[in-house]
Structure 1
């Protein structure tokens, strides 16, 4: 982690989305402060935390946004596109504006939270930048005995939608760091590629994604399959 007085080279906004109570705030707390609270209360409104990391010798400040799943519930495309839901659209647009990455979170013990993922993904793609880096996250992997969503189902969905994929446990701090690092590194590669295209004489190695789509099929190349889908 970079020191507080260090120069920041990049600021990347990443949003957390998904149903209420899937553990978005706990994932954020684990990544930003390495904390976990068993009596965590539901998020009210929108909050964000920051953490500065070093990626390929550059200082990158991650600005992670979390929103109240209970307030917004599961998005209905027909609802937020109607003119009488302008307030909802305004809040949603502001939340996604400028986001370069997203963690799309479900609870592996709640099938419904996974079944709602396509609608969250539709909302995300309807409001965010087309090149946004998306990681599908199955949280609470420590509750293997209560699993309601198989790793194979999630992996298949991620591959179909060209998403990165990991299962995490905010409680045990399993793969939380890996999830954010993967998304932030991918964003960094995309911006490095853009900078290289804008200035061919720029120093540094060409990004590994040259000539490839921005969103690569999951599981991500950076994540070995054994890590991607192992039981925590």
Structure 2
């Protein structure tokens, strides 16, 4: 994995309340695995994910799984900096996790760059009988805040790969019209640019809704 060639190294953060399935979304995407007995993330867990080919370029996602517990908020806030992508996750069967999205979004916007690509993720879509958050309400929230949107299931894999692919595709669009302020962090000889720092862009990014 360390010798893999890539054009862009993209930092993506997973955020949202505890127990919404962030760790299993990451595990499903990177290893195609799901752990029914997975425990809450303590602080920060880091994973370098697989690469994706987009328009002839190789984008390698460097994904950070942040703890949702309140007591770790001060620790995780520093890790928003430099993120070019974010998955804002709630549990479709947990209305409280949906109500807390506004706070998570504000925190993300306070610490991340204004061009950060954000996708709203309604996880656990396989648990239809436990649904507490209507898809229409989530779409309305996404439209209000100009976010991409998708419902996923880390359990059966529904839309997990697609969600990351769409976020990275949108990141590539931003990168195509932007210049990193710094290429220091994460840059490896012969492996392309590191898109980890803030981006300067004169072109306003648009986010297409999707479910």
TM-score range, shorter chain: 0.7 to 0.9
Match of 2:185 in 1: none
TM-score between the two structures when normalised by the length of structure 1: 0.77
Instruction: Report the count of equivalent residues.
Output: 189
Using the TM superposition, give the Cα deviation of residue 97 of structure 1 relative to its aligned residue in structure 2, in angstroms.
1.2
The structure whose residues are more often helix, as a share, is 1
8 Å Cα contact 1:131-1:215 kept in structure 2: no
Superposed CA offset, 1:140-185 (max 9, x none) = 0000011000000000010010000000000010000111111111
Q: Extract structure 1 runs of 4+ deviating beyond 4 A.
A: none
Q: Which structure 1 residue ranges, 5 or more long, are not aligned?
A: 76-87, 196-209
1:132 aligns with 2:132: no
Query: 5 Å matches for 1:106-121?
Result: 106-121=90-105
Per residue, is there more strand in 1 or in 2?
A: 2
> How far apart, CA to CA, are the structure 1 residues paired with 2:2 and 2:108?
32
1:7 is displaced (CA, Å) by 1.7
- Tell me which structure has the larger Cα radius of gyration: 1
Q: Does 1:29 align with 2:13?
A: no
Which one scores higher on RCO, CA 8 angstroms, separation ≥ 6? 2
Root mean square deviation, CA, Å: 1.9
Q: Does 1:9 align with 2:2?
A: no
Separation in 2, partners of 1:146, 1:92: 30
Could you list the runs of 5+ residues in structure 2 that have no partner in the other structure? 180-200
> 2:165 aligned with 1:174, yes or no?
no
